[in-house]
Amino acid sequence: MDWKSKIDMTRLPKHVAVIMDGNGRWAKEHGRPRVFGHRSGVKAVRETAEAAAEIGIEYVTLYAFSTENWNRPKYEVDALMTLLVSTLRKEIRTLNDNNIKLGAIGNLTELPKKCYKELIEAIDKTKHNTRMTMLLALNYSGRWEITNAVKKVASEVKAGNIDINDIDDDYFAKHLNTKNIPDPELLIRTSGESRVSNFLLWQLAYTEFAFLPIYWPDFRREHFYKSLVDFQNRERRFGKTSEQIT
């Protein structure tokens, strides 16, 4: 099926978030170590970035490493960090060829020094690109992000910059890592798990979820396109009745 031709290009989501899950199980099924699965997932990242940029999505956020992922065996964490460094270095070219700006959310300064340095460099080398922004969620946790925002808002109150009664959704959201970025309209999670795993807890309030029964290393453009078609066939009611929408 040619899913791309079925997408209504006038009703694209501005922001698609992706939980790239299932690398370990994919590797196990292929009789290989988990790390092989992570390496094989890079191609899916490239395909997603290219497909999204090509059709005109403005933001893609990829969940690459959660704060909970530090609890994995040390060799796996080390391999993921090494992969991050080598991938950032290699893929700057892909990003520039596709006019994609790189960004990141999460507790970035607590990443290993080498990763942080490579990340900042990649962000800098792609900062003039305008077609799409690709955000990597690294050392990210939704609860961490919200708690951090609460601290920032509290200090604004303490400094007398805002009255408690004037704090609203918009004001609060400006203190998140995603300030000035629209909430994702669509979240895709691969691997068959139907959970959020501490991703974008605030931003997903009205997001449509697509849980795909395939592992991340098998994710290709067609899966991305089909998810967009499915998304466009849904009715987003935001609390209203169906009659009010149509």
Which sequence positions are flagged as catalytic?
A: 21, 69
Residue 19 interaction partner, one of Mg ion, ligand IPE, none, beta carbon < 5-8 Å per kind: ligand IPE
76: helix, strand or coil? helix
Residues at the interface with ligand IPE (CB under 6 A): 19-25, 63-66, 68-69, 80, 191, 193, 195, 197, 216
Spatial contact of 167 and 188, defined as CB atoms under 8 Å apart: no
Rounded to whole angstroms, the Cα distance separating 85 from 151 reads 31
Residue 124 interaction partner, one of ligand IPE, Mg ion, none, beta carbon < 5-8 Å per kind: none
Spatial contact of 215 and 189, defined as CB atoms under 8 Å apart: no
Using the rule CB under 5 A, give the single segment among 20-28, 32-40, 180-188, 226-234 that binds Mg ion.
20-28
Cβ at position 148, least distance to ligand IPE in Å: 19
Chosen residue from 18, 20, 21, 59 binding Mg ion by CB under 5 A: 21
Least Cα distance to 238 among 209, 206, 202, 210 occurs for: 206
Spatial contact of 126 and 163, defined as CB atoms under 8 Å apart: no
Residue 63 interaction partner, one of ligand IPE, Mg ion, none, beta carbon < 5-8 Å per kind: ligand IPE
Amino acid letter, residue 182: P
Nearer to ligand IPE, 21 or 129 (CB): 21
Residue that has been written with the tokens 């969620």 in this structure: 137
Rounded to whole angstroms, the Cα distance separating 88 from 65 reads 14
Cβ at position 169, least distance to ligand IPE in Å: 26
Site of interaction with Mg ion (CB under 5 A): 21
